[in-house]
Structure 1
């Protein structure tokens, strides 16, 4: 089986794209819905392109942090960030927000693996050591996490 280098999943949310964007781009809230990210150190409020933040992650007994930089911040449309660890490119994560025609939002979360090129072996080893997930299982692991994240975002925003 070939390795997957990216995934995306979508869900409907009964809130406007602007409301959903504001929640997701306020990255300090990520720990509310992510099954892996426990906390984020960032300035308050929605972030803009170029802003940086630190994510603190946990999976079982494994704990690690990543540094992130917002790459896309288009309110109500798309929010994305690049993740690095120890100076190595790891991934790009993002969200797209589209009106569903009924006042709600079709929310899509995507992930793209950036562990390629000369630094790939080191980045993959670090990923396995800290997260406990082997490179060939990364896409399946992230797909399950994205589905849970989207479900939790919907549950929180519709409450």
Structure 2
């Protein structure tokens, strides 16, 4: 059974607006995520209800998913639901004394689909291993977002 919540956070020395500029540029998701290699947006600008086709990769496995933005609060939160497994992925931005904290979450409120559970069990090493890999992937993603946002902040200074 999928964990209802997996999350990872990072401190970023940049403004919420600078971080939002990175996070909300979903076409660049392939630069940040070790698994989601590309998001093809269906409609711009990005906003509530924007849909995407996503190309995911893990080793030799490649698979498409589709998603829809269900949370959109500029400079605060961006979240999308993946149709195929009912997971919600989100990024929240919270101000701190020296910048912001960004939290990436994967939420599975009512469990994933049967096909998703089957595929994770048979092809992704089982739920425990796959979710540990997702958490490590979140840390990697957030580290890359941090570098991009802080680089942008340094250029603006």
Corresponding residue for residue 127 of structure 2: 135
Corresponding residue for residue 122 of structure 1: 115
- For structure 2, list consecutive stretches of 5 or more residues without a partner in the other structure: 152-157
Runs of 4+, deviation exceeding 3 Å: 43-46, 126-129
Cα distance change, pair 91–63 in 1 and its aligned pair in 2 (3 A):
same
Is residue 2:16 matched to residue 1:27? no
SS in structure 2 at match of 1:7: strand
Q: How much has 1:46 moved relative to structure 2?
A: 5.4
Whole-angstrom CA distance in 2 between matches of 1:15 and 1:44: 28
Matched-pair contact (CA < 8 Å) for 1:91–1:115: no
Q: How much has 1:9 moved relative to structure 2?
A: 1.2
- For structure 1, list consecutive stretches of 5 or more residues without a partner in the other structure: none
Cα distance change, pair 71–3 in 1 and its aligned pair in 2 (3 A):
closer
SS in structure 2 at match of 1:4: coil
Q: How much has 1:128 moved relative to structure 2?
A: 4.4
SS in structure 2 at match of 1:11: strand
Whole-angstrom CA distance in 1 between matches of 2:108 and 2:89: 9
SS in structure 2 at match of 1:48: coil
Aligned residues between the structures: 151
Corresponding residue for residue 110 of structure 1: 105
Root-mean-square deviation (Å)? 2.2
Corresponding residue for residue 4 of structure 2: 5
